[in-house]
Amino acid sequence: MMWTMAFRNLFRNKRRTAATGAAVMAGFIGLTLLGGYIYCVERGLRANSIYLMNKGHVTIFKKEGLQRYATKPSLYELTPADQNLVQEQLKKYSENIDWTGTALTGSGLISNGVKSVPFMAVGVDLQTLDKSLTHPTVQEWAKDFLTQDSLNFVKAIKENPDSISITARLGALISRQIPFENLPAEQKTVQLAGMNLYGDLNAVDANIAVSHTTGSDMMEDAGLLAPFELLQNLYSTDGAHYMMIYLKDESKITKMVSELNETFKNQSLPFDAYPFDDPGISPNYVGSMGFLYAMAGFFVFLICGAVALSIVNSLTMGILERTREIGTFRAIGYMPKQISWMMTQEALWLCVLSGVLGIVLAAIIVVIVNGLYITFSPPGVAAAVQFTLSINGTLVALISCIFLLLVGTTSYLVTHFKLKMKIVDLLSDSGA
Amino acid sequence: MSKNIVLKILFSSFFFAVCFAQAQVEMELLKASDKARGSLEKGLTWESEVTTVEDGESTIRKFKVKATGVDANVEALEPARNKGEIYLFNDRTMWFFKPSLKKPVAISSRQKLTGQAAIGDIASTHYARDYNPKIERIEKINGEKVYVLMLKAKANNLTYDKIRYWISDVSKKAIKAEFLTLQGKPFKRATLEYNNKVSSNGKMVDFVSKMEIVDAKFKNNKSILRYINPKMEEHNKTLFNINNLKR
């Protein structure tokens, strides 16, 4: 009965109801789209970091190897014996492990036979490269991050294990212009030189196969991707800088990292496990998400504030107009609590209707925006990616709960304080 | 008025003549010290043993150095894994080659080779060619008059930007050096000994026998370069031709 009456009351002042409803709806659309955008970006950057940047869900380093490997690689590399020890510890997680990989990083000089320029290299095992590029998560969330060059690189390594990929700017520094695929065979051959783990200068022949971009302007003059074995040969090692663990169930990352570190500590094993979202592992992911979460927090505050103020304004006006009516309700025996609840129900009705309309409008906006195929280049990502919006069910449910709670609480509190007047005063109020 | 101008001209000429003479003296000192470190017009051959101590770990490497003028061919002898590797110096250009490479690699003088010793330290030294000297002060070491020279790099691709160099007035040989950062702070210190002899123009002259380079910050990290069996030897020009290194 009360709910029906509350619903009917919405139509008593249609203009005000529409204005308040529009404010709630705009807030709902704003939060839904903002949340949907952040969700899409998070999933994309996560897939990029885990699969395309080859960090894995969990990364294992020699103890302090994350910070100190570059200064003393021989001391902080994961030797084959170390890798076996880690694999032993991973056996108990075998059901959730998709696969494990190894990576090697280093610096040196790339030479065209006339001049040499510095490079920063990353070498990842072929299995990881191959599986990562075709992984369903990448196909679903990070398809834009995937370039044809990445796919060509894997193909090139399979054909020639000395194949490397360098950035266009690094190529230009050694007088090699993109597309590298079109270079004559003689120009494709270059030499990589670097200090090996014994502290000696070493060099290997390599074959420029494709180009890539690092997504970081700072790294564009030096980016080099090489097969894991080629870098092992260059740095005269059979070890690796780090191991990557790829999981089937992403929700168990934190638990696994915590358990692994506990095991390493208890068994005095010199290793450190890191989740992919550690700032030292995926600085771009952490930086971008930190910025987005801060921005989202600010917008949530603004939107919720605007919605709450609209409700306060609307209800205050309603109470002022309906003072005598409220007085009559009180006179025939309604308790202030009941009247407050009825007016709260009116606000909740408005919130539900605005929310439903908001979801429909948000869905239309999502279809239009995604259809426009707007692209942009986020930091740390190789290629321009599509500005994608989505509507996430969990997020909509969460936003609905927040709005219902916000609207309900605001309206109950406003009416509760306004209804403290005496019945006589309410009945004699002029409404001014 | 005209008298004043004449005096000014005379004074300026005298001043520039003194400066020029001073610069000549500084350069002559440097050239003389370079001779005892392999900068001879005629061919010279020696073996270089580099003992590196870094973070408590010690390694020994051996090289055969063949130098003529500004060219040098440095061949790695030990350890076995490095055997056959060659560093070729053509004036200021430096190359690295190993038999498995299709082409040699051009490397910067700054590319560290082993421990505290840079590639430039192992080959012959041409500080007179690469640096502008200026006498900073004169010191007495063990009762001997020693010039302290500040050497500033003529080009920006040299192993070191600045070197403080102690040259004995009597022997005209460098006895110690400080390799400085761009800010002028020492990051490596070296001491030199001259117990070798080589024959030059029919005369036996002293030649460097040991150079100890110590990290200025971590004093336990050091490299000791021993110059073994130096001898005058004519070298075929093809030895220094980069094209002969290609596969």
Nearest in space to A427 (alpha carbons), one of A339, A325, A333:
A325
Q: What Cα–Cα distance (Å) separates residue A351 from each residue in A12, A27, A184, A191, A340? A: 17, 11, 67, 67, 16
The answer to whether A248 faces chain B, any CB pair under 8 Å, is: no
For residues A226 and A192, is the Cβ–Cβ distance under 8 A?
Answer: yes
Q: Would you say residue A184 has pLDDT above 70?
A: yes
Q: Min CA distance, B22 vs chain A (Å)?
A: 38
The answer to whether A208 faces chain B, any CB pair under 8 Å, is: no
> What is the reported pTM?
0.75
Tokens 């302290």 label which residue? Answer: B148
Contact A116 B106 (CB under 8 A): yes
pLDDT digits (tens, 9 = 90+) for A141-177: 888 777 788 888 899 999 999 999 999 899 999 999 8
Q: What is the mean pLDDT of residues A45-58?
A: 92
* pLDDT, tens digit only, all 247 positions of chain B: 567 777 777 667 666 665 666 677 788 888 888 888 877 677 889 999 989 888 788 888 899 989 888 788 989 998 888 888 998 888 777 888 998 898 898 876 665 444 444 656 665 578 888 889 998 888 888 888 899 989 998 877 777 888 999 998 888 888 999 988 888 888 889 898 989 988 877 788 888 899 898 888 888 888 888 999 988 888 888 888 888 876 5
Predicted pLDDT of residue A381:
61
Average pLDDT over chain A, rounded to whole?
88
Higher-pLDDT residue of B26 and A121 is: A121
Contact A111 B103 (CB under 8 A): yes
Q: Would you say residue A226 has pLDDT above 60?
A: yes
Instruction: Detail the DSSP E strand segments found in chain B.
Output: 44-54, 57-68, 71-78, 86-90, 93-97, 105-107, 112-114, 117-118, 131-141, 144-153, 162-168, 174-180, 186-193, 196-200, 203-207, 210-215, 222-232
Contacting residues for B18 by C-beta, under 8 A, at least 6 apart: none
Tokens 């406003």 label which residue? Answer: A414
A291/A284 Cα distance (integer angstroms):
11
The answer to whether A185 faces chain B, any CB pair under 8 Å, is: no
Q: Which of A111, A162, A205 to mutate to test the interface with B (most CBs of B within 10 A)?
A: A111
pLDDT digits (tens, 9 = 90+) for A342-354: 888 888 998 899 9
Of B61, B106, B112, Cβ closest to residue A114:
B106
Give the phi and the psi of residue A424 in degrees, each rounded to 5: -60, -45
Give the least confident one: A18-27, A83-92, A381-390: A381-390
Contact A204 B114 (CB under 8 A): no
Residues of A in contact with B243 (CB under 8 A): none
Residues of B in contact with A236 (CB under 8 A): 81
pLDDT digits (tens, 9 = 90+) for A16-51: 888 888 988 998 899 899 988 898 889 988 998 999
Contacting residues for B200 by C-beta, under 8 A, at least 6 apart: B35, B40, B42, B232
Residues of A in contact with B113 (CB under 8 A): 200-201
Contact B113 A201 (CB under 8 A): yes
Nearest in space to A56 (alpha carbons), one of A337, A253, A309, A310:
A253
Contact A202 B114 (CB under 8 A): no
Q: Would you say residue A180 has pLDDT above 50?
A: yes
The answer to whether B61 faces chain A, any CB pair under 8 Å, is: yes
B177/B189 Cα distance (integer angstroms):
6
Predicted pLDDT of residue B113:
44
The answer to whether B55 faces chain A, any CB pair under 8 Å, is: yes
DSSP 8-state code for residue A237: -
A345 membership: H or E segment, kind and range: helix A336-372
Contact B112 A193 (CB under 8 A): no
**Angle subtended by helix axes A336-372 and A393-418, to nearest 10:** 150
Q: What percent of chain A has pLDDT over 90?
A: 44
A226 membership: H or E segment, kind and range: strand A223-227
The answer to whether A116 faces chain B, any CB pair under 8 Å, is: yes
Give the least confident one: A86-100, A208-222, B57-71: A208-222
Predicted pLDDT of residue B142:
85
For residues A107 and A119, is the Cβ–Cβ distance under 8 A?
Answer: yes
Is the ipTM here above 0.85? Answer: no
Q: What is the mean pLDDT of residues A282-311?
A: 88
Contact A111 B52 (CB under 8 A): no
Per-residue confidence at A274, pLDDT binned at 50, 70, 90? very high
For residues A204 and B101, is the Cβ–Cβ distance under 8 A?
Answer: yes
Predicted pLDDT of residue A164:
94
Q: What is the dihedral of CA A35, A41, A44, A49, to 10 degrees?
A: -120
Positive or negative, the Cα torsion across A164, B105, A108, B74?
A: positive
Predicted pLDDT of residue B33:
85
Q: Min CA distance, B179 vs chain A (Å)?
A: 21
Nearest 5°: the CA angle A198, A200, A201 is: 140
The answer to whether B188 faces chain A, any CB pair under 8 Å, is: no
Contact A109 B107 (CB under 8 A): yes
Contacting residues for A264 by C-beta, under 8 A, at least 6 apart: A63, A89, A270, A271, A272, A273
A47/A53 Cα distance (integer angstroms):
9
Q: Is B33-38+47-64+114-232 CATH 2.50.20.10?
A: yes
Predicted pLDDT of residue B197:
87
**Angle subtended by helix axes A323-331 and A336-372, to nearest 10:** 130
Predicted pLDDT of residue A199:
77
Of B61, B82, B106, Cβ closest to residue A111:
B106
Checking DSSP bridges between strand A163-167 and strand A201-212, what pairing results, if any? parallel
Q: What is the mean pLDDT of residues A251-273?
A: 94
Contact A191 B59 (CB under 8 A): no
